[in-house]
């Protein structure tokens, strides 16, 4: 086998592994409307990114009808696999948000 053939095969294997790693990433987005937290009605957008190496979740909080940003919360954890779990995660971290 020539050096050129070996190089091309090695490159193809590396590219295949790189694409497989990217394909395993799961990125899910959520929008929750009219969420009651205390006496406030909020809108929340959230995202959960899960890979085989790390997880990341974020929640963005807005006043009713997305009129004003109320801050965000992010953590290097998975907020969950269901909309209900992600909503619970965002609601429970509302007081931890950065404005």
pLDDT at 15 over 90: no
pTM over 0.85: no
% of the chain at pLDDT higher than 70: 80
pLDDT-derived band of residue 17, with 50, 70 and 90 as boundaries?
Answer: low
Domain ranges for the chain? 26-96
**Kind of pairing between the strands at 40-50 and 55-63:** antiparallel
CB contact at 8 A, 43 and 66: yes
pLDDT at 1 over 80: no
User: How far apart are the C-alpha atoms of 44 and 38, rounded to whole Å?
Assistant: 15
């Amino acid at each position: 086998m020539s050096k050129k053939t070996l190089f091309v095969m090695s490159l193809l294997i590396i590219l295949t592994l790189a694409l497989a790693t990217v394909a395993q990433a799961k990125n899910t987005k959520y929008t929750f409307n009219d969420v009651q937290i205390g006496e406030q009605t909020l809108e929340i957008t959230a995202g959960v990114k899960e890979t085989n190496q790390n997880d990341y979740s974020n929640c963005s909080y807005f006043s009713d009808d997305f009129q004003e940003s109320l801050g965000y919360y992010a953590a290097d954890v998975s907020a969950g696999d269901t909309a209900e779990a992600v909503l619970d995660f965002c609601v429970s971290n509302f007081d931890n948000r950065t404005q």
